[in-house]
Amino acid sequence: MRYVKCVYNEVYFKGDWGGTYEPDLIVGKVYPVAPPLPNDDPFMLRVYDGSYGQAGSEIGYLYPRDYFEPVYPNGQQATESITVHLDEYTKGVLHAQAILAQKSVSALVRQWIEERLDEPERVLE
């Protein structure tokens, strides 16, 4: 799943619909990008915005692409860290799973986190 950071959230006019729309976006907040639908305008981006979970929001909403900048999780230096405290049993299980997956424990945990973040119903605010 891709993510974008909101850089603009002003009211906008949506072409043929003849209306204006107040975005449900917060500047600086990161939003998951929803899969595009066949007839989406190429100058628009479909995202799961602040209204996710309400009726009709499961396909995301279209916003102008220039309201966002891409977020690149790979290849950039981390600016925050997380410390996890585990009991010996859980640590042993993670270590065993990492050996089976031929990965480090940290890589296995990162993969687990990324998989859960891809699930739209678990979008964090």
Predicted pLDDT of residue 123 = 46
pLDDT digits (tens, 9 = 90+) for 13-22: 655 555 666 6
In 7-77, beta strands by DSSP E: 12-13, 20-21, 30-32, 44-47, 61-64, 68-71
pLDDT of residue 116: 67
Angstrom distances, CA of residue 43 to CA of 36, 37, 62, 125: 12, 13, 10, 26
pLDDT tens digits, one per residue of 66-95 = 999 888 766 565 566 677 788 888 888 888
Assess whether pLDDT exceeds 70 at residue 10: yes
- Can you give the pTM of this predicted structure? 0.52
Is the per-residue pLDDT at 65 higher than 50?
A: yes
> What does DSSP say about strands 3-6 and 61-64: parallel, antiparallel, or unpaired?
unpaired
Amino acid in the structure at residue 99: I
The tokens for 66 are 């220039």
